[in-house]
Amino acid sequence: MTGTAGAEPGARAGLLTIGAFAKASRLSPKALRLYDELALLTPARVDPVTGYRLYAPEQLERARLVAWLRRLGMPLAGIRHIGTLDAPAAAREVRAYWARAEAETAARRDLAAFLVDHLTWKDPAMSATSMPLRLRYAALSDTGLVRESNQDTAYAGDRLLAVADGFGRGGAPASAAAVDTLRRLEAGTVPAGSLLDVLEDAVEQAGHAVGRAGTGPEDAGTTLTALVWTGSRLALVHIGDSRACLLRDGEFFRITHDHTVVQSLLDEGRITPAEAVSHPQRSLLMRALAPGAGATADLRLHDALPGDRYLLCSDGLSAVVPPAEILRVLTTVDDPERAVRELVALANGLGGPDNVSCVVADVLASDGHF
pLDDT in tens, 183-220: 988 876 665 556 767 788 888 888 888 888 765 556 68
pLDDT in tens, 99-117: 777 766 766 666 676 666 6
Average pLDDT (257-278) is 81
Average pLDDT (137-164) is 96
Q: What is the pLDDT of residue 357?
A: 98
Whether residue 31 has pLDDT greater than 60? yes
Q: What is the pLDDT of residue 125?
A: 43
Most confidently predicted of 74-78, 121-125, 166-170: 166-170
Whether residue 11 has pLDDT greater than 70? no
Average pLDDT (71-83) is 86
Most confidently predicted of 121-125, 161-165, 253-257, 266-270: 161-165
Lowest mean pLDDT among 1-15, 120-134, 149-163, 241-255: 1-15
Whether residue 4 has pLDDT greater than 50? no
Average pLDDT (85-96) is 88
pLDDT in tens, 215-242: 555 668 999 999 998 776 788 999 999 9
**pLDDT band at residue 118 under the 50/70/90 scheme:** low
Whether residue 355 has pLDDT greater than 90? yes
Q: What is the pLDDT of residue 126?
A: 45
Q: What is the pLDDT of residue 369?
A: 62
Q: What is the pTM of this model?
A: 0.68
Average pLDDT (114-133) is 55
Tell me what the pLDDT averaged over the chain comes to.
84
Whether residue 6 has pLDDT greater than 60? no
pLDDT in tens, 292-313: 777 788 888 888 889 999 999 9
**pLDDT band at residue 131 under the 50/70/90 scheme:** very low
**Residue 203 CB coordination number (10 Å):** 23
